[in-house]
Amino acid sequence: MQSDFAEHGRLVMESLAVPEVPLATIRRRSRAARSLARAQAVVALILVLCAAGTGVSLGAKIYDGMKVWLSGSKAALVVDSFTMLREPMDAEFRAIIARATFPVVLPVGLPQGTHIARVFFAPADHPSTLTVEYVNDHPRVRAGFTLLDPAIVNVPNALLPTGSTHTTFHRTDTWRAGNEVVLIPRGVLAEQQLRRIRAAMVTTTPAASLAENEAGLSRIVMLGGSVRIALAERYRSGSASSVLVDPDLKRSIPRLAALGKPMLDGRRTFVSNIRYVNGEPDYRKARGTASDAVAIPATGVRAIAAVLRDEGSCVCEVLYRFPRHGISQVWLIPVRGLADVRSYAVDERDERVTPDAAAER
C-alpha cells in the first residue's frame, strides 16, 4: 500500500504544485488511516482537477463536499469531503456513473493500454462531480479529468476565504462535452494529446464513451499496490471472481486466519472533515472511513494461509479465485524476476492443499 501511495504522491508532485505529504505520520496509522493516507496523496490532485477557468467573473460554486471560485482561466476551491474508489471494476464504475446528476461523457481518445486507477466523486449518492484518474506507462500518462454537472457552475457569488483559510488559484483547461463541463490541470498532458482527447469527447456520446472506457477497468479486485497485474490477468477465469493481494497485505493473512476474520476491501474510502491551514489542506484531523465490505471471506483467508504455510515465506502477490464446488484456486506470483508462478487447489472444507500444475498456464 505504501509503495502505491508514495509513487502516486511522486507523480502528483511532478505535475502539480501540491503540499508535502506527511509520510512518516501516515505510516504509523491503522488500516482505516492507511486508506485515508492513500486518499490524502490525491487530495491535492482533486483540489486542482476540480478547478476550472470558464471565463466568468469571480464567483463561488457551492455543493456538497466542495466550494469552487472561478476567475478567468484560474480557479481555487476547498474540498471538505469526497469518496475515492481505487481500481474500480466494471459494475462499480457503472453504478457511480448511473447515479450522477448529469449524463456523463467520459474521456476518450487516450492511448491504448490506459487504465482507470481511481475515481473520486461527491456527493456519494448522486454525484455532481467526478474525477477519473488515468494511468499508462507506455506512453506515459498520468492525468485526471474532472467532470461537472453544469448546474453547479453558475451559483451566486460568495466571499473567497481569506487569512489562514485562504486557498490557492490554479490554471486549468476546460471545455463542454455534451451536458457537462470537463476540467484538467494545465500542462498535465501535451497540447497535441489534449486537443485530440478534447475533440473526441466533444463528438462522442455518454454510452459510447462508457463502452470505450470499459477496457480500462479492472477485472480483478486489487488490494494494495500490486505490481504484476498483467501477469495475474493471465490466470483469471472469465466468470469467476478473483482477488489480487499485494505483498504487504499478504503479511496480514496468517493473523487474520488465526482470528477467523475475512480480508476487507479497502479500495473505497470516504474522506471528510478536511481543514486548511495557510492555504493548504491539513490532514491531521481529516476523517477517513474505509469500506467494511468483504473482499475475501474467512474461509478463503484460511485457504490462502494454508498455502503460505506449505510454501514458507515468499516475496510475492497472492491471486485468489473464489471456490467452485468447495475448491478454491491460489496462485503465488513473484513480484520480480523470472521465478515461476505457483498454483494450488485448496479444499476449503478441510484446508487440504494440492499443487496444481495444470492451472499454471
Which residues, in sequence order, are bridge partners of residue 37?
Answer: none
The pLDDT tens digits for 290-349 are 889 999 999 999 999 999 997 767 889 999 999 989 999 999 999 887 678 999 999 999
Q: 156 and 232: one domain?
A: no
| Residue 288 within any structural domain of the chain | no
Of 186, 213, 240, the last residue of a domain is 213
Reply yes or no on whether the pLDDT at 6 is more than 80: no
Q: 118 and 229: one domain?
A: no
The pLDDT tens digits for 191-208 are 999 999 999 999 999 999
Q: 189 and 65: one domain?
A: yes
Q: 354 and 235: one domain?
A: yes
Q: 160 and 251: one domain?
A: no
| Inter-residue contact 293 to 265 (CB < 8 Å) | yes
Of 149, 178, 213, the last residue of a domain is 213
Prediction pTM value: 0.78
Q: What is the pLDDT of residue 288?
A: 85
The pLDDT tens digits for 34-58 are 545 545 544 544 544 443 333 333 3
- How many Cβ atoms sit within 10 Å of the Cβ of residue 80? 17
| Residue 42 within any structural domain of the chain | no
What is each CA distance from 229 to 217, 233, 234, 261, in whole angstroms? 12, 6, 9, 26
3-class DSSP state of 323: strand
| Residue 31 within any structural domain of the chain | no
Q: 116 and 191: one domain?
A: yes
| Inter-residue contact 293 to 241 (CB < 8 Å) | no
Q: 62 and 206: one domain?
A: yes
Q: 66 and 87: one domain?
A: yes
| Residue 282 within any structural domain of the chain | no
Q: 162 and 239: one domain?
A: no
Q: 55 and 105: one domain?
A: yes
Q: What is the pLDDT of residue 29?
A: 47
Burial track 209-219 (b if 16+ CB lie within 10 A, e otherwise): bbebbeebbbe
| Inter-residue contact 122 to 82 (CB < 8 Å) | yes
Q: What is the pLDDT of residue 69?
A: 66
Burial track 46-67 (b if 16+ CB lie within 10 A, e otherwise): bbbbbbbbbeeeebbbebbbbb
Reply yes or no on whether the pLDDT at 106 is more than 50: yes
Q: 149 and 231: one domain?
A: no
Domain around 305: 221-261+297-359
Pairing of strands 129-137, 140-148: antiparallel
Please enumerate in sequence order all residues whose Cβ is within 8 A of that of 222, keeping only pairs 6 or more positions apart, or say none: 86, 87, 229, 243, 244, 246, 267
| Residue 69 within any structural domain of the chain | yes
Q: Of the candidates 143, 182, 170, 175, which has an alpha carbon nearest to the alpha carbon of residue 78?
A: 170
What is the C-alpha separation between 319 and 359, in angstroms, rounded?
Answer: 12
Q: 114 and 83: one domain?
A: yes
Work out how many domains the chain is built from and give that number. 2
